[in-house]
Chains A and B, each alone.
Chain A
Amino acid sequence: MKWSGLKKEFQYIIVAIIVIFFAFVPLFGSTYAITLSSTIMMYIVMASCWNMFSGPAGYISLASGAFVGLGFYASGFLSTRFPLPVLMLAGGLASLVLAVIIGSITLRLRGVYFTIFTFCLVELVKAVMTWYEIMVVRKRGLNVRNFGPNAAFYAMLVMVVIALAVVVIVRKTRFGMALTGIGESEDAAAHIGINTTAYKVSGFAVTAFMMGTVGAVRATMLNHIDPTSAFNMMFSFLPVLMCVFGGMNTFLGPIIGAIVFAALQYNLITKIPQIYMIIFGAIMILSILFMPTGIVGVYERVRKAIENRKIQKVGGHL
């Protein structure tokens, strides 16, 4: 993960300002603002955590929808008896177990198998859940207890802080270096004694855990869940889109992408339900073509250009 042109401390300050801004939303904002910022924070967690594993390691995961969905159902099953933190932990652990199973099967293989497998995983879990509801409980969907907008909001805020802390810690330790090494050259990484499969599986599992927890919180905001709303492909695609747009492998990129697209989606989903997805698709294609390093990369390029011009000017005076 690059820190881009911005100074590391400066990036922390920007993130801290964003978090503090969000923390004050419930005091002054309307219900609309609270729901919107909870949604944005969910996507910040998802995009940052997706970027933590798939960015450096280069294994594109599309299983986010499955993990968020498991979080949904953990909430659905337990919400009447347990408080919110227990639901989050349960959702996270369920996703973690699934990620370890899937990861240890597919992450031994290189190339696109992982992506294909995770892509189909959402459909698989959805099919299993639908089967369970039709054949076993004979009732479609589950009601989830609502803990009030503020409870969900602060839970999301805590998750944002934890997720960003995890991202920074992972980056600074051996773990992140190993993931970067795997992305640069898997053979070389294996050669210098990195257990590549173990690192890949644990990276994937950490990502899954975080997504499961935010899924559990998200479910309490919705009151009623069913397999279609829980195991939604959009949950898999949007983090990827956010990271591509903001800048893969950067610290700020996923956060910027999450804020932009979550706000856009929240505002457009009812007004132009199909057209906004067409716009998202076009943005994705254009981002990949014209700014493969995302918004953060564009900023960096502009900054370098300005610096070069300054140097040239100084040179002219000499």
Chain B
Amino acid sequence: MSTVVNIVIYGIIMGGVYGLISMGLTLQYGVGKILNVSHGEFLMLSAMTSCVLVKAGVHPLLTFVICLPAAFIVGFILNMTLYRWLRNFSKDEATFESNAMLMSFGLYFILANIGLKIWGTLSKSYQFYSYPVKILGATIIVNRLIGLGIAIVFIIAFFIFLNKTRLGKAIRATSQSTTAAAMMGVRINKTMAICFGTGGLLAAAAGILIGMSFSPTAQIGLTNTVIALIVVVLGGMGSIPGAVLGGLLIGLVGQAVSFFDTSLVTVAYYLMIIILLLIRPKGLLGR
């Protein structure tokens, strides 16, 4: 019984983190049509930076104030320069989509290797509420519960931002039709850059949560990109609730499978996707 509770709670915790990462990726794809393969590198850089900052004496929760704006600004600038130029050069949407993906590979090379250059392959970690607590017979480490709480706060805040604010409305309009939104007076380039920046911000938030509870290395970027891509396909490309649902599902399945055999987790993810693509190619909540 306690094992089941353990799996479920850890699954939900991982699901929250995966949901955060995937929301960023799906936002970048849904609005800007950029499949950002370097997404996980934002997460890696933020996780490592937060660990370094905490070692230097900054409170773990304060690193959010430092890493998130930094990630947002980097994403904003990248979109305002590279991707905007690319959009102007490309002759149609399909060309832009494939070229933007290739460009994000270039970014992946650069960001991943900057991380490796600075931190090497050693892992970093710090102690923050790292004592266990008993819930329904299961042993859970407190910092993971704090991480889950923060993830939920971010997800809810993001939904409010998207559904209640004027900017959120502009983002939703742009994702439905770029041309129509532009005609209605939405500033397309700025909106897209904000989306890309917000995507980076969400990845950075997930990165700090990972740094808080696990020991990240400079190589975790690609693994998390793969997970985020799987979650996004599972939930439906461009669907934000789909990303949260998919993240939760992947988190639960991942924990359940790793209870039996850790090395089969990827296989389980992949099987889920294959079955889903055969039954419902648009994803769980895809339009």
B273 with A117: CB separation less than 8 A = yes
Specify which of B94, B99, B101, B278 is in contact with A115 (CB 8 Å cutoff): B101
B278 with A105: CB separation less than 8 A = yes
B106, chain A: closest CB distance, angstroms: 4
B264 with A112: CB separation less than 8 A = no
B274 with A275: CB separation less than 8 A = no
Among B14-22, B111-119, B155-163, B171-179, which stretch is in contact with chain A? Answer: B111-119
Are A289 and B86 CB-contacts (below 8 A) given A113-B281, A116-B229?
Answer: yes
Give bound CA distance, A115 to B98, whole Å.
10
B229 with A124: CB separation less than 8 A = no
A128 within 8 A of partner (CB): yes
B120, chain A: closest CB distance, angstroms: 9
Which B residues lie within 8 Å of A108 (CB)? 281
A119 with B229: CB separation less than 8 A = yes
Number of A-B contacts (CB under 8 A): 115
A282 with B277: CB separation less than 8 A = no
Residue of A nearest to B109 (CB): A281
Give bound CA distance, A285 to B237, whole Å.
25
Give bound CA distance, A240 to B86, whole Å.
18
A288 with B229: CB separation less than 8 A = no
A277 within 8 A of partner (CB): yes
The main secondary structure of chain B at its interface with chain A is helix
Which A residues lie within 8 Å of B264 (CB)? 127, 131
Specify which of B101, B106, B266 is in contact with A112 (CB 8 Å cutoff): B101
Are A127 and B110 CB-contacts (below 8 A) given A288-B86, A288-B99, A289-B86?
Answer: no
A274 with B270: CB separation less than 8 A = no
Which B residues lie within 8 Å of A60 (CB)? 98, 101-102
Are A285 and B94 CB-contacts (below 8 A) given A112-B101, A117-B273, A131-B264?
Answer: no
B222 within 8 A of partner (CB): yes
Which A residues lie within 8 Å of B273 (CB)? 117, 120
Which A residues lie within 8 Å of B223 (CB)? 123
Give bound CA distance, A244 to B100, whole Å.
12
Most chain B beta-carbon neighbours within 10 Å: one of A106, A116, A130:
A116
B187, chain A: closest CB distance, angstroms: 23
B107 within 8 A of partner (CB): yes
A288 with B108: CB separation less than 8 A = no
A292 within 8 A of partner (CB): yes
Specify which of B106, B226, B261 is in contact with A131 (CB 8 Å cutoff): B261
Specify which of A106, A128, A241, A278 is in contact with B113 (CB 8 Å cutoff): A278
B245 within 8 A of partner (CB): no
Interface residues of B in 240-269 (CB under 8 A from A): 261, 263-267, 269
Give bound CA distance, A135 to B262, whole Å.
11
Residue of B nearest to A58 (CB): B98
Are A277 and B226 CB-contacts (below 8 A) given A106-B277, A289-B86?
Answer: no
The main secondary structure of chain A at its interface with chain B is helix
A277 with B86: CB separation less than 8 A = no
B242, chain A: closest CB distance, angstroms: 14
A263 within 8 A of partner (CB): no
Which A residues lie within 8 Å of B237 (CB)? 111-112
Specify which of B35, B102, B267 is in contact with A124 (CB 8 Å cutoff): B267
Which B residues lie within 8 Å of A127 (CB)? 263-267
A281 with B229: CB separation less than 8 A = no
Which A residues lie within 8 Å of B109 (CB)? 237, 277-278, 280-281, 284
B112, chain A: closest CB distance, angstroms: 7
A244 with B102: CB separation less than 8 A = yes
Which A residues lie within 8 Å of B266 (CB)? 123-124, 127
Give bound CA distance, A12 to B70, whole Å.
52
A13 within 8 A of partner (CB): no
A88, chain B: closest CB distance, angstroms: 28
Which A residues lie within 8 Å of B233 (CB)? 113, 116-117
A158 within 8 A of partner (CB): no
Most chain B beta-carbon neighbours within 10 Å: one of A237, A281, A283:
A281
Most chain A beta-carbon neighbours within 10 Å: one of B223, B229, B261:
B229
B259, chain A: closest CB distance, angstroms: 15
B203 within 8 A of partner (CB): no
A134 within 8 A of partner (CB): yes
- Binary contact readout A47-70 vs B (1 if CB under 8 angstroms, 0 otherwise): 000000000001010000000000
Give bound CA distance, A288 to B82, whole Å.
10
B265 with A284: CB separation less than 8 A = no
Which B residues lie within 8 Å of A284 (CB)? 102-103, 105-106, 109
Enumerate chain B interface residues (CB-CB to A < 8 A).
29, 35, 37, 82, 85-86, 89, 94, 97-99, 101-103, 105-110, 112-114, 116-117, 222-223, 226, 229-230, 232-233, 237, 261, 263-267, 269-270, 273-274, 277-278, 281
- Contacts A/B (CB < 8 Å), 7 sampled: A60-B98, A115-B101, A116-B230, A124-B267, A233-B222, A240-B102, A284-B106
